[in-house]
Amino acid sequence: MRFFTRLLLSVLFCTCASAGAAPASEDGYDLWLRYRALPAAEAARLAPHARAIVAPATTSPMLDAAIGELQRGVGGWLGTAPARTDEVRAGAIVLAMPATRGATAAWFDGLGQEGYRVLRTRLEGQSVTVIAANTDRGLLYGSFAYLRGIATDGAQKAPDLRSTPRLPLRLLNHWDDLNRHVERGYAGASIWHWWNLPDILDQRYTDYARANASLGINGAVLNNVNAKPDILTAPFIAKAAALANVLRPYGIKVYLSVRWSTPLELKATATADPLDPAVAAWWRAKSDELYAAIPDFGGFLVKANSEGQPGPHDYHRSHAEGANMLARAVAPHGGIVMWRAFVYSEDKPTDRARQAFDQFTPLDGQFDKNVIVQVKNGPIDFQPREPVHPLFGAMPRTPLLMEFQITKEYLGFSTHLAYLGTMFEETLRTDLRPGIGAGGQAATVTRVLDGTLDHGQATGMAGVANIGTDRNWSGSHFDQANWYVFGRLAWNPEAGAEAIAREWAAQTFSRAPRVVDTVSAMMMASREAVVDYMTPLGLHHVMGTGHHHGPAPWVDNLARPDWNPVYYHRADKAGIGFDRTAHGKGGSGSAGQYAPALARLYEDPASTPENLLLWFHHLPWTYTTRSGRPLWDELVHRYDAGVTAVAAMQKQWDSLAPYIDPQRHADTAQRLKVQHREALWWRDASIAYFQSINGLPLPAGARAPAQSLDDYKALKFPYPPGNG
């Protein structure tokens, strides 16, 4: 079809849509890269500036990917994809590198290897849109940024963008098993079809890569941290190599999780002792084999001596000795080792929240250069709210990588709407040395990651993926936003959760201000609502055993004390909360692991942020909180606030029915309904339990739980997703 006929059709279509017809149904597969036909006025603004794509004559897979995406995007919006040419002409989009004829040197200033500049300017006398970068990778990211700009602003302004990533490692961690089960996955099976690989390549692999490249995500750990030895056998290396070939044009490197005892279990060595020469030689040879198959292989991720996984401690060697042995195997190829700090011991009776710090800080300075210690955002385990992990800022001679969990293991799976941007941002913005940066730059977690705090090496962020075979990738439409915000914050940790929510909403649903305002308002309040109805005031780990679905604060019979909710909330007749103040005051001492200025805040209930009160303190039920309410009343008040907030989200979403396509609107409405029911359940079961402990009456006006405590305790959940 000729361009103008198409344009006319899209004009007609869009006029109908704005005249009141409901938007056409969508299944969410396209994520935020929807490129639906633009309304007439917007198409008319864009068309004269997107007539062709001018690209360097030398081609590369990444350059082709960039051009392919520009053609797909502009083609979707206007009806005709701009052709590729090597001649500059008026109204073209020019992909420029420093060698491009007529290019201005200043365009490339400070862009480094990954940055881009997008601007409307003149080249060879013609008015053009330039996407400039020093590398084809920069052009890929610049092309996506150009498309995002139009998707969010409707081509109102001439593009003028410049960005470089703040962190070099922007990685997804897939907890995907080789049988396609996804540990803590709530969006179907693993997208990696290991059985069919390497011969059969699913279109999803390419679309996954496009989505990641649009955010700047540049690495993927393909398999679960609870790894099997098989991943390092020749057939699986060939499968991983096939995936690497699909992901490479989108700038994504492949990494693998490895099991410490692999050579022993594959019967190639008699031990897995890192200091045994045969073990080191095996890992060197295996690395050579990996790099022969995947020349740009990223490296290894290791969960060792954690939750029953083998590790160097089995041979009385330290984490550093173990990590360094692996690091030396990949170093000749430029690979890295990401060694996880998620450890807590089976036989130590000390507070679990302090164990990683206790084990790792003595090792600061002992790791090889290409080892990065990967630390979860908080010291326990991805709870709805945790304080920052005390290791950040405490290992000045060791690069630390942030591990966030995008999949919502503890925040309602993919049923509850919880935007994690605010949670990630809360961690990244935490000032590790409050007061000390006064007048200067605060000692934020971001600055640990970008290396400026201790003048170390810039690292990055890893996000435990929420991606699966569900048609919409993430289980729910709103969970796509958590993948999105992770990627955007990994690129720029200071981009702002709200700004990111708004741009996601505009691309995913509609640019209409009413939609963007309402959707982003829902998102911004959503995580706090979950905290309120699940774990208010610093409570944590009070969810159901194993699957982590629903409330179970009463559980006290698990093998290890620190698996039991009662270990964490410590409620008794007199009070509630975990005393983590100094030993001298009777606490576990973990507040003292923070830098002195932060530790001082946490040592005193009066200066502890109220949202972490019961994380750090055991307080009487009568303790006066900042609202003036006694602690018990405040707790009940928070549970109620959480439920009320979900009801408010339902109303907000209902009000958007005319603006959102029926399929995605109905799906989200159903989930919100379940969320409301489950928020009430959390509230009622928690109140019923704590009341059975403290024997206090409910605060005036508070509604009694709908059922008895025994009813809540009796609930069973066979076959939960993501577990086992």
> Could you list the residues that contact ligand BDP (CB under 6 A)?
183-184, 225-226, 303, 307, 342, 381-382, 409
Cβ proximity to ligand BDP, 35 vs 382, nearer residue: 382
Beta carbons of 167 and 460 less than 8 angstroms apart: yes
Helix, strand, coil percent content, the chain, rounded in steps of 5: 45, 10, 45
CB of 224 to ligand BDP, least distance (A): 7
Nearest to 120 by CA among 179, 45, 44: 45
> By the 8 A CB rule, do 573 and 694 touch?
yes
**What contacts 677, CB < 8 A, 6 or more positions away?**
none
Cβ–Cβ under 8 Å, residues 395 and 360: yes
**What are the C-alpha distances in Å from 283 to residues 268, 286, 330, 569, 704?**
11, 5, 9, 44, 61
Task: Report the residue number, 192 or 282, with the smaller CB distance to ligand BDP.
Answer: 192
Least separation in angstroms between CB 438 and ligand BDP: 36
At 678, is the secondary structure helix, strand, or coil?
helix
Q: Where are the beta strands (DSSP E) in 538-612?
A: 575-576
Kindly state the smallest distance separating residue 535's Cβ from ligand BDP, in Å.
15
CB of 338 to ligand BDP, least distance (A): 13
CB of 552 to ligand BDP, least distance (A): 15
472 neighbors 482 (Cβ within 8 angstroms): no
Residue 599 phi, psi (nearest 5): -60, -40
CB of 256 to ligand BDP, least distance (A): 16
Strand ranges in 494-625 using DSSP code E only, listed in sequence order: 575-576, 619-620
Nearer to ligand BDP, 354 or 408 (CB): 408
CA 259 to chain centroid = 23
Cβ neighbours of residue 127 closer than 8 Å, sequence gap 6 or more: 90, 91, 120, 121
d(CA 363, CA 248): 35
**Closer by beta carbon to ligand BDP, 340 or else 488:** 340
DSSP letter assigned to residue 683 = H
The CB-of-219 to ligand BDP minimum distance in angstroms stands at 18
Place of tokens 């059985």: 195
The residue (of 381 and 633) whose beta carbon lies closer to ligand BDP is 381
Cα–Cα distance measured from residue 194 to residue 188, given in angstroms and rounded to the nearest whole number: 15
Mapped to the 3 state alphabet, what secondary structure does 83-95 carry? EEECCCCCCEEEE
**Hey, what are 558's tokens?**
């698990």
Three-state SS for 16? helix
Q: Are 675 and 412 in contact (CB under 8 A)?
A: yes
| Cβ-proximal residue to ligand BDP, closest one | 381
Least Å distance, CB 464 to ligand BDP, is: 7
Please identify every residue annotated as catalytic: 307, 381, 409
